[in-house]
A = this chain, B = another copy of it.
Amino acid sequence: MTPTLRIQSAPFDPAQEAARIENGRRDIGAIVSFTGLCRDEDATLAALELEHYPGMAEAEIARVAAEALSRWPLQALTIIHRHGRILPGEKIVLVIAAARHRGEAFAAAEFLMDYLKTRAPFWKKEHRADGSVGDWVAPKAKDDAAAQRWRE
C-alpha cells in the first residue's frame, strides 16, 4: 500500500481525499480523519505563515508514515500538510487512516499527528490583524509528551 503524502501551499479538500481512499472498496471497516485548522478565537490573527524545510518536510513525513505502516495494518493512508499563508478557519493539515478495525485507524491517526507536530519541519509565524508581524508560535511541552508516549 502506497500512502498519499503531499506538501502544498494550495488548500485541500478532505472529502475528495476520503473519496479517493474509499473508491468502491468493500474491505475497509474504519476511516479516521483528522483536520487541523488555523484558529483565531480573539479576532487578533490575520494569517499564519507556515515556513517549511523543502525536501526534509517530504522526507520526514515519509519516515513518519512508514513508521505508522509498520505499527498498524493500515489499508490506506493520506497525509497532507500546507505551507505558506493560511487564513483563520482554513485547514492546515489532514491525516486519514483506513483500517479493518477502528482501534488501528484511531491509533495510527493520533500517532501521526503527534509525530508530525514534533518532527515535521514546519514553523508557524503569526501575522496580526492590526498589520504587525507577531511572534513565532511557541512549541508546546504537551506536544512532546504526546509524542513521547508512543515510545513506551
Contact = CB atoms under 8 A, between A and B. Distances in A.
B34 A32 contact: yes
A35 interface: yes
Interface string A37-59: 11111010000000000000000
A119 to B, nearest CB: 15
A70 B110 CA distance: 22
A31 B113 CA distance: 12
Copies of this polypeptide in the complex: 2
B27 A41 contact: yes
B26 A30 contact: no
A15 interface: yes
A63 interface: no
A107 B88 CA distance: 24
